[in-house]
Amino acid sequence: MQMKDLPNLYLQSPKLNQLNILREVAANANITQAELAGRCSLSVAMVNNYMKELCRTGLMEYHRKTIKSVTYHLTSAGTKHLETLQLELINEMVDMFVAAKAQIRARILSQSPSAMQRVVLFGCGHLAQLAFHALELTGASILGVCDDSIETIGSEFCGREVLNSSQIRFLSPDAVIVADTQRTEDICRNLRPLLSRGITLIRLDGSAEPKPAEGVTTDLPLEVSDNLESDRVPL
């Protein structure tokens, strides 16, 4: 498991470090402590301490090949411990998945119009997957999934065909949820003409978009925005 470039809020616990070391050794008995340090985002000294402790507790053993070269091997107890730690990690990740959906749902509802029933999801990444499942909990109908990338348009996402963002106006949603935090500002700038149709733009990056004009409905004639121009997306 490559552990480099850890997110800022991600804290490695001793148990996770132990899990990563056991996993790497199980996959490659010839791995060096320097390689383990690079893969597990630890110093060589820290890896050495973990290896000594794993050997002391009977979870790992080493076989010396030469004066400077050794191989590491998990014992039967070490293999069992690795399986236990992996199951514990999966359970924690499931809890994090549930918590993430709840937070995304709360963020959507905090920006949504009171009568939000029909929504379009913009984006096809991991965040969009979480948002898709979070939207299912709101009771809103997901009319479609859109994107502005040629590579993703026409592909399948969560069982839906990815549509060109120019199709949003024909779907006439109450809101568009922008689930792409890397490009949120650009995407929203291109979608703002939809505000004139009474369509709310909901962002998941912590910012808020202007509200549609009061009294504007989504069943306006299509000609209303035919002449509007955007940087990337025709609406």
Enter the pTM of the model: 0.71
Mention every residue, 6+ apart, whose C-beta is less than 8 A from residue 233.
148, 165, 166, 187, 190, 191
Interhelix angle 14-27/76-111, nearest 10 degrees: 120
> Please, are residues 85 and 14 in contact by the beta-carbon 8 Å criterion?
no
- Does residue 79 lie in a domain region? yes
Q: What whole-number distance in Å separates Cα of residue 204 and Cα of residue 180? A: 8
Dump pLDDT digits (tens) for 183-216: 899 999 999 999 998 999 999 987 777 777 655 4
Same domain for 53 and 129, yes or no, is no
The residue segments making up the domain with residue 77 are 14-95
Q: Is the pLDDT of residue 222 over 50?
A: no
Q: Is the pLDDT of residue 231 over 60?
A: no
Q: Is the pLDDT of residue 118 over 90?
A: yes
Dump pLDDT digits (tens) for 130-187: 999 998 888 889 999 999 888 999 999 999 999 999 999 899 999 999 998 888 999 9
Averaged pLDDT of the chain: 85
Same domain for 56 and 154, yes or no, is no
- Does residue 104 lie in a domain region? no
> Please, are residues 75 and 59 in contact by the beta-carbon 8 Å criterion?
yes
Instruction: Give the number of domains in the chain.
Output: 2
Band (10; pLDDT cuts 50, 70, 90): low
